[in-house]
Amino acid sequence: MRTSTRRWASPRTLTALGAGRVVAASSRALRRGSGEVVGGKAMLALQPRLLAKLAANRTIVIVSGTNGKTTTTRLVAAALGTRGPVASNVGGANMTAGVATALAAKPRDAAAVLEVDELYLPAVASLVRPRLVVLLNITRDQLDRSNETRRIAGLWRALGEQLPGATVVANADDPLVAWAAFGFERRTWVSAGQRWQLDATVCPACGGLLIRGEGDWRCTSCDLRRPEPSVVAVRHDLIDLAGRSWPVKLALPGLVNTGNAALALAAATDLGAPVAPALAAISQVGDVQGRYRKIELGGRVARLLLAKNPAGWLEMLELLDEAPPRPVVIHFHARIADGRDPSWIWDVPLERLAGRDVHVSGERAEDVGVRLAYVGVPCTLHSDPADAAAACAGNGTVDVLATYTAFRELLLATVEEPA
């Protein structure tokens, strides 16, 4: 057992950690941000082997996927938190620097639950050697990246060979994820659902046509088919590894989060956490990095919903239907982090907004305007999201659907000017 930091780290590592703290604190003091990324970058510049060093001899879980990474990371961290301290990149900084910052936090032998970007997963995982990897889903995110989905699945599948003995907790309902997870030695399959299916129509193994049935899928040309799940999300119930059924009442809205909770529960129980307290901790997680947060916008109470790609939009439209219809603001950008090509809005069934009072803002508001016109949903365009919210009918809560950078913009504005 170590008694002081001097005995576990080289002077170089200690210098790197100190520098990272100073840089991160400066960033916060200058109100540039949380400092997670710049602090991590400073540390890695001084000690390139920092990730491997900080990750040695501790239990590490990595969460990756196109949608639900930040939320599921929080759920796993909450579930494991019932057993002891947990380190996590709670700010959503999910590339190498953010992971370094999370691992550098004390105590340095705490279990760590790390959100990692889909494309960075192999690089980060090969350094931190996770005991368990949670794979959520793979869908189109940025259309201007090409062949993105199949490429990511291939990278993940190859990772399995580099991590002998690691367990993968994978969504069996997503063919790309399942094919990738077959690359790992130990597998726990979870039925977490896949409402959006247009990105997995062709078999990742052989290029043949996939056929999908009620909760099932298989390839028409090769042996690939949906593996039998051992943990299942059935609407608002979870069935655990032992076959027991647990009613779930999450603080988070939406059926999509029941699926995320199933994956989190499977991960935590695989690492030895008892089901009941883990599920209780998962259920209490509310606001995750502003998702579903209520803010003040244009004099109205506005609920923030992140909808950054077609799969995410579909889940959010489903979630809107769970409550009586509210006015909707769509705040829409197509910056680099959103993908510069907004063509995908034509794949989103926006006719489901019919009957709501719809207002649109953002740099690509006009693209949304045309889309809505062709499905017969009247809308009004605004140059500013606050004007859009202010123009909404009635005086109740407004739901705001925002793309990635548009969401960040609304969230940052509220942090700087607390209501």
Partner 1 sequence: MTAVRRAAGARAARSSALRIASVFPELLGTYGDSGNATILAARSSWRGQPAEVVTVPAGEPVPRHCDLYLLGGGEDEPQVLAAAGVGAGGSLAAAVGAGAVLFAVCAGLQIVGTSFPGADGNVHSGAGIVDLVTTPGATRAVGDLVVDPRPEVGLDVLYGYENHRGRTSLGAGLAPLGTVRRGIGNGAGQRLAVGPRGLTGGDLEGVWAVCGDGLVVGTYLHGPVLAQNPQLADRLLDEAVGGLPPVSSDDPRAAAADRAATALRAARARQTSRG
Q: Which residues of this protein are in contact with partner 1, per CB under 8 A?
A: 140, 143-144, 146-147, 149-150, 198, 201-202, 207-209, 220, 340-341, 343-347, 364, 366-367, 369-376, 378, 381
Q: For partner 1, give the closer residue by CB, 237 or 341.
A: 341
| Minimal distance, residue 212 CB to partner 1, in Å | 10
Please list, residue by residue across 49-75, b when 16 or more beta carbons sit within 10 angstroms of its beta carbon and e when fewer do.
ebbebbbeebbbbbbbbbbbbbbbbbb
Q: For partner 1, give the closer residue by CB, 148 or 240.
A: 148
| Minimal distance, residue 278 CB to partner 1, in Å | 39
| Minimal distance, residue 199 CB to partner 1, in Å | 8
Query: In this structure, are residues 133 and 118 in contact, taking their beta carbons and an 8 Å threshold?
Result: no
Which of 352, 354, 356 has its CA nearest to residue 393?
Answer: 356
Q: For partner 1, give the closer residue by CB, 212 or 225.
A: 212
User: Which residue type occupies 135?
Assistant: L
Query: In this structure, are residues 208 and 222 in contact, taking their beta carbons and an 8 Å threshold?
Result: yes
| DSSP designation for 290 | T
Q: For partner 1, give the closer residue by CB, 324 or 376.
A: 376
Q: What angle (nearest 5°) sits at the alpha carbon of residue 376, between those of residues 372 and 380?
A: 50
Which of 320, 361, 364 has its CA nearest to residue 346?
Answer: 364
Task: Report how far apart, in Å, the C-alpha atoms of 102 and of each of 3, 39, 60, 121 are.
Answer: 22, 10, 11, 16
Between CA 242 and CA 44 the distance in angstroms is: 43
Query: In this structure, are residues 27 and 34 in contact, taking their beta carbons and an 8 Å threshold?
Result: yes
Q: For partner 1, give the closer residue by CB, 107 or 376.
A: 376
| Minimal distance, residue 196 CB to partner 1, in Å | 13
| Minimal distance, residue 150 CB to partner 1, in Å | 7
| Minimal distance, residue 201 CB to partner 1, in Å | 4
Which of 215, 206, 73, 199 has its CA nearest to residue 138?
Answer: 199
| Minimal distance, residue 327 CB to partner 1, in Å | 18
DSSP H helical ranges for 232-379: 255-270, 275-284, 310-320, 365-374
| Minimal distance, residue 208 CB to partner 1, in Å | 8
Q: What angle (nearest 5°) sits at the alpha carbon of residue 291, between those of residues 383 and 387?
A: 20
Burial of residue 380 (CB within 10 Å: 0-12, 13-18, 19+) is: middle
Q: For partner 1, give the closer residue by CB, 22 or 374.
A: 374
Tokens of 352: 């489901």
Tokens of 95: 């590339």
Torsional sign, CA 215, 249, 309, 167:
negative
Q: For partner 1, give the closer residue by CB, 148 or 270.
A: 148
Which of 270, 271, 305 has its CA nearest to residue 289?
Answer: 305
User: Which residue type occupies 77?
Assistant: A
Q: For partner 1, give the closer residue by CB, 131 or 364.
A: 364
| Minimal distance, residue 366 CB to partner 1, in Å | 4
| Minimal distance, residue 45 CB to partner 1, in Å | 31
Between CA 134 and CA 263 the distance in angstroms is: 7
Q: For partner 1, give the closer residue by CB, 165 or 376.
A: 376
Q: For partner 1, give the closer residue by CB, 57 or 146.
A: 146
